[in-house]
Structure 1
Amino acid sequence: MAETVGQDSREPAVAELRKRRFERRKAAYRSARRVLARSSVLGTLRERLALLEAAGELYDLDESADLYGNGVVEVLEARVAGLLGTEAAAFFPTGTMAQQVALRCWAGRTGDPTVALHPRAHPEVHERDAFQQVSGLRTVRLSDEPRLPTAAEIRDFEEPFGALMLELPLRDAGFVLPSWEELTEVVDAARERDAVVHFDGARLWETTEHFGRPLHEIAALADSVYVSFYKSLDGFGGAALAGPRTLVEEAKAWRHRYGGQVFQQFPTVLSALAGLERELPRLPDYVRHARVVAAALREGFAAAGVPWSRVHPEEPHTYEFQVWLPYDCDVVAEASVRQAEETGTLLFARPWDAPGPGLAVTEIDVRAAGLEWTADEVGAAVADFVARLP
């Protein structure tokens, strides 16, 4: 994000300004009385460790600690497999590793190392070409549209592929999802081409409200599914790969080869169990209230006289969505921080990015803290924020 990195060597003064603003935003977040979400990104070590204070309610702490993936790790794996309705699941330290392993295994089974995905999918944007550089996979890019590919695009794609990877939701396009009917048609189209289907479900936990289906029914569409424990569930980290037992057993062998056979992982695993117990049941409430907040933001910007604004999607598909404004990125970033410093209300907690000249975009997430906000309170916060713009 442009606000946070400060890597423009041509403008060291601007870079330093953005670095200082990031520190101010972090301090403002910690002291703010009102935010739409309290997440791990800007939390303190003390706040994060508090997640394990009631760990004894989740697992018998008199049991031996895990060693190389047994004990409490196996309990978490069984819990995930049960939730997703798969034969088995394997815990991984990162989603990047989990998905490389999954698609490498599928490539060995299909005989085709080609993975079809969206150009804004996480491996294409955020993983330094890991599929190609580390795992010997080849990616081909489907539709450039800011949405998941359609069944027609799958059927008409000009070259073969062994696996179709679908990121649900597609974060960099605005946390967007297809309809249930569209998703089933896409899966059917891939199967017509004899391709396996893998879900990048880092945030799959958030999709049940949009699809109107339970997790196991959503996961059943795919041959394998990856889920994250820190996205959506607010755990310390970690991921799981779920699917057929034979695939999962092979994946565990590759997990060892990739360096993922960690000696002990109980803090991360306990935090994942906490997320499944405490956060997972609340996600539908977050999604429903995110739609209230999104509508209030849209109406608030219009009432405040902003010449143009965009909430995307207009009705959020998950509890996360984007806000676009016609201002310079640094201008809105400064107004966001000043609002928090001066009023104790942090409306925009995440960084702002500059997708083009005179444009700024940020992401909103609505979690437990956001449930306390009424639509009127969101509108009032928008008016106060806009008053701080030039």
Structure 2
Amino acid sequence: MRHRLSVMRACDRILSGVRPATMRERLTDLSGGADLDELPDYYGDGPVTVLEQRVANLLGTEAAVWFPTGTMAQQVALRYGATESDAVALHPLGHQLVHERDAYASLTGLRAVTSTTAPRNPTAADLAELDERVGTVVFELPLRDAGFTLPTWDELTEACEEAVNIGARVHFDGARIWESTPYLGRSLVEIAEQADSVYVSFYKTLGGFSGAALAGTADLARYARAWRHRHGGNIFQQWPAVLTALAGLDRELPRIPDYVRHARVVADALAALPGVRVQPEPPHTHQFRLFIPYPAGVLNAAVTELAEKESVWFCGVWQDTPVPGVAMTEMTIAAAALEWTAADVIDAGERLLRACRLLHRP
């Protein structure tokens, strides 16, 4: 991984992702956007409270609580909703089941009920068919492992209404909710109004060091602070991560609509290449999946070769799929990609495919 990041950092042009910064660059960036003569936080005051209020204002919630990790924030949210039932409606492709090592069960003692097996968030019909009561229904916006897909606004609101009808709370896994607004066609406040709790991430998309927030009612916030402490998340000082989160809200959040629009330009260009497929088409956010009919090892080698020879970073990391000879990567269209025209994308894609053909000779 470190070699890949070093190669990417040395490139003049980057299509997918953000140029890796050194620790010195991150510290310089931090000092440029904050008053470092102010006192730091001590167990969650100072700049932490500033960030919490900023998030609550953005989402239109009564309160928000800083967490060092999103996994911790989500365990607290699910525990809060377990008063009526120890079951939680989760998607098999959702973050809790795929990326959190079953923390909801191991740490919180909850049971998972499958909300739907379709590669999308649950619909109202899916929830109406659940055969047992659940305390919380989780929606991941967007559903990353289904290709960063989102429901329509009508589908989302109808599903949230049905969750209430079956006596459940609604929790949004909103690690990437910032980039969901263009497709849903609603503001962050309007989206957050549909849920009882919303988790947001500060390092995904916004470029912070780390950290997350859990937003909702004042009662949820009181509960969250107590359980954050019990989980070991009430850390003495976290101001570096907090300040980078505030900087991300200032600098990156306003640019996200541009990233989403340009992702569609990039995806259209990529889909014009022979054998190449994007998912979804068009992308719902500034991230989408790209499939190319070569093994992952060949594509990783070709991307590195293109970067080292031409100082152009295309995309990575590639993974083999269940379809033999076809690999997949996740594309992230950010600031560096805005200078790429459709013709630039096609040209770089053709060069990548030529490199793959040479590397994949029998």
Range into which the TM-score falls when normalised by the shorter chain: over 0.9
Contact 2:262 2:333 in 1 (8 A): yes
Q: 2:94–2:143: 8 Å Cα contact kept in structure 1?
A: yes
CA–CA distance in 2 between the matches of 1:332 and 1:347?
10
- Deviation, 1:107, is 1.0
Structure 1 residue 38, shift from structure 2 partner: 4.9
Please report how far the alpha carbon of residue 309 of structure 1 lies from its aligned counterpart in structure 2 after TM superposition.
2.3
- Aligned CA distance change for structure 1 residues 262 and 23 (closer, same or farther; 3 Å): closer
* Structure 2 portions without partners, runs of 5+: 358-362
Whether 2:98 is the aligned partner of 1:132: answer no
Does residue 49 in structure 1 map to residue 49 in structure 2?
A: no
Matches within 5 A, 1:11-160: 22-39=1-18, 42-56=20-34, 60-108=35-83, 111-160=84-133
What amino acid does structure 1 have at the position aligned with 2:337?
G
- Letter of the 1:105 counterpart: Y
Which residue is 2:360 aligned to?
A: none
Greater mean alpha carbon deviation, residues 24-33 or residues 95-104? 24-33
Paired AA for residue 262 in structure 1? I
Partner Cα distance (1:335, 1:63) in 2:
48
Which of these residues, 203, 217, 220, is aligned with residue 193 of structure 2?
220
Secondary structure class of the residue paired with 1:321? strand
Partner of 1:4: none
SS of 2:121 mapped into structure 1: coil
**Cα pair 2:287 2:333 within 8 Å, conserved:** yes
Q: Does the CA contact (< 8 Å) of 1:327 and 1:358 recur in 2?
A: yes
1:203 aligns with 2:176: yes
1:251-290 equivalences under 5 Å are 251-290=224-263
TM-superposed deviation, 1:135 = 1.0
SS at match of 1:241: strand
Give the C-alpha shift of residue 23 in structure 1.
4.6
Q: Is the 8 A contact 2:17 2:331 kept in 1?
A: no
Q: Is the 8 A contact 2:17 2:332 kept in 1?
A: no
Determine what percentage of the aligned residue pairs are the same residue. Answer: 53
Query: Partners in 2 of 1:63 and 1:53 — Cα distance?
Result: 12
SS of 1:135's equivalent?
coil
1:340 and 2:307 matched: yes
Q: Are 1:384 and 2:351 an aligned pair?
A: yes
Tell me, yes or no, if the aligned pair for 1:81 and 1:87 is still in contact at 8 Å: yes
Match of 1:375 in 2: 342
Cα distance, 1:245 vs structure 2: 0.4
Are the aligned partners of 2:90 and 2:96 in contact in 1 as well (CA < 8 Å)?
no
Query: CA RMSD for the aligned pairs?
Result: 1.3
Structure 1 residues 359 and 38, CA, compared in 2 at 3 Å: closer, same or farther? closer
Per-residue CA deviations over 1:78-135 (Å, capped at 9, x if unaligned) read 0000000000000000000001011111213xx2121101101011001111010011
Please give the secondary structure, in 2, of the residue aligned with 1:160: coil
Q: Deviations over 1:222-266 (max 9, x none)?
A: 000000000110000000000000111111011111101000010
SS of residue paired to 2:173: strand
Give the whole-Å Cα distance in 1 for the aligned partners of 2:141 and 2:8: 28
| Partner amino acid, structure 1, of 2:30 | L
Q: Distance in 2 between matches of 1:46 and 1:375?
A: 34
Matched, 1:179 2:152: yes
- What SS does the aligned partner of 1:53 have? helix
Structure 1 residue aligned with 2:319:
353
Aligned length: 356
* Corresponding letter in the other structure for 1:324: F
In structure 2, distance between residues paired with 1:183 and 1:247:
23
Q: Which residue of 2 aligns with 1:11?
A: none
C-alpha separation in 1, matches of 2:120 and 2:6: 35
Contact residue 51 and residue 274 of structure 1 kept, 8 A: no
Provide the residue aligned with 1:316 in structure 2. Answer: 283
Residue pair 1:311, 1:322 contacting (<8 A) in 2 also: yes
**Do structure 1's residue 363 and structure 2's residue 330 form an aligned pair?**
yes
Cα distance in 1 between the residues matched to 2:140 and 2:9: 32
**Cα separation, 1, equivalents of 2:346 and 2:228:** 48
Gaps of 5+ in 1: 1-21, 303-307
Distance verdict in 2 for CA 1:264–1:24, change over 3 Å: closer
Alpha carbons of 1:163 and 1:46: their partners in 2 closer, same or farther (altered >3 Å)? same
* Alpha-carbon distance in structure 2 between the residues aligned to 1:49 and 1:64: 17
- Matched residue type, 2:58: L
Shift of 1:24: 4.0
Counterpart contact for 1:88–1:244, Cα < 8 Å: yes
Give the TM-score of the pair, scaled to structure 2: 0.96
- 1:9 match: none
SS in 1 for 2:252: helix
Q: 1:284 offset after TM fit, Å?
A: 0.5
How far 1:378 moved relative to its partner?
0.5
Q: Which residue, 232, 235, 241 being the options, matches 2:208?
A: 235
SS of 1:147's partner is coil
Equivalent-residue separation in structure 2 for 1:339 and 1:37 (angstroms):
14
Give the partner amino acid of 1:366.
Answer: I
Worse-superposed segment, 257-266 or 148-157: 148-157
State whether residues 133 and 167 of structure 2, in contact with CA within 8 Å, keep that contact through their aligned partners in structure 1.
no
Secondary structure of the equivalent of 1:316? Answer: coil
Distance 1:231 1:251 in 2: 22
